[in-house]
């Protein structure tokens, strides 16, 4: 009984962050998760690398796998050019509801399409459902064992184009070894590791940026 960690994060955001101010939502979550309760958000250090890659990519269509509480959803959506859209997939309805309210508090609901369901079911439906051609940027942050199968599914569904950027969280901790081997050895990808730290801790982690070559 009682609340869940995502609910406690949402309550802190609703109490301490200014409605419509994405930066205050981001810093409220980082403050809560670094001082009160750790949570698996990409966090402030890796978040700065994520921000830089969103800005350099200037994406029109972004896909996020694993919404959780919506922290990285807000980080990405706040940096999108007008008309650009972020599709985020979350299979846990409780997490999805929390994320929906976090995204609303940040005032970014117009830029975000939050889909509740498993990526393996929803990815093949995206072209039909959302009139999408290809994704310019994919942020991968769901179950680590699902990174590789879902990357192959994106390829098979024709959702990547030459130049599409995949950005994967946690390639060191907890790690995604089969995914890392694939993107670093496949001739279809140009891959680069960005060393950083696990969210809110002094443990190494990093992001892997992989450009699909088509």
Ligand X SMILES: CNc1ncnc2c1ncn2[C@@H]1O[C@H](/C=C/CNC(=O)c2cc(-c3ccc(F)cc3)cc(O)c2O)[C@H](F)[C@H]1O
125 binds, among Mg ion, ligand X, none (CB under 5 to 8 A by kind): none
Residue 97 binds ligand X (CB under 6 A): no
Annotation marks residue 37 as catalytic: no
Q: How many residues bind ligand X (CB under 6 A)?
A: 21
Annotation marks residue 141 as catalytic: yes
Cβ neighbours of residue 112 closer than 8 Å, sequence gap 6 or more? 73, 77, 85, 86, 87, 88, 103
CA 37 distance to own-chain centroid:
20
Nearer of residues 27 and 118 to ligand X, judged by Cβ: 118
Annotation marks residue 48 as catalytic: no
Residue 95 binds ligand X (CB under 6 A): yes
Annotation marks residue 144 as catalytic: yes
Using an 8 Å Cβ cutoff, are 98 and 121 in contact?
Answer: no
Question: Residue 20, by phi and psi: left (phi above 0), alpha (psi -120 to 50) or beta?
Answer: left
Residue holding tokens 């979550």? Answer: 29
Residue among 92, 104, 188, 190 that touches ligand X (CB under 6 A): 92
Query: For residues 157-176, which are near ligand X according to CB under 6 A?
Result: 169-170, 173-174
* Residues tagged active-site: 141, 144, 169-170, 199
């Amino acid at each position: 009984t009682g609340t869940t960690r995502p609910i406690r994060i949402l309550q802190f955001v609703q109490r301490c962050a200014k409605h419509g101010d994405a930066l205050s939502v981001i810093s409220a979550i980082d403050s809560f998760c670094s001082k009160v309760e750790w949570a698996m958000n990409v966090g402030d250090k890796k978040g700065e690398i994520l921000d830089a890659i969103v800005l350099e990519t200037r994406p029109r269509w972004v896909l996020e796998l694993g919404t959780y509480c919506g922290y990285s959803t807000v980080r990405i959506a706040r940096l999108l050019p007008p008309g650009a859209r972020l599709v985020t997939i979350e299979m846990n309805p409780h997490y999805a509801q929390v994320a929906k309210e976090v995204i609303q508090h940040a005032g970014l609901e117009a830029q975000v399409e939050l889909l509740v369901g498993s990526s393996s079911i929803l990815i093949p439906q995206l072209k039909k459902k959302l009139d999408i051609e290809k994704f310019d940027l994919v942020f991968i942050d769901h179950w680590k064992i699902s990174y590789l199968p879902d990357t192959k599914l994106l390829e098979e569904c024709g959702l990547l184009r030459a130049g599409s950027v995949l950005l994967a969280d946690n390639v060191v901790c907890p790690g995604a070894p089969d995914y890392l081997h694939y993107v670093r050895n496949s001739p279809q990808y140009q891959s680069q590791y960005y060393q950083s730290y696990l969210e809110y801790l002094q443990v190494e982690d990093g992001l892997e940026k992989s450009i699909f070559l088509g």
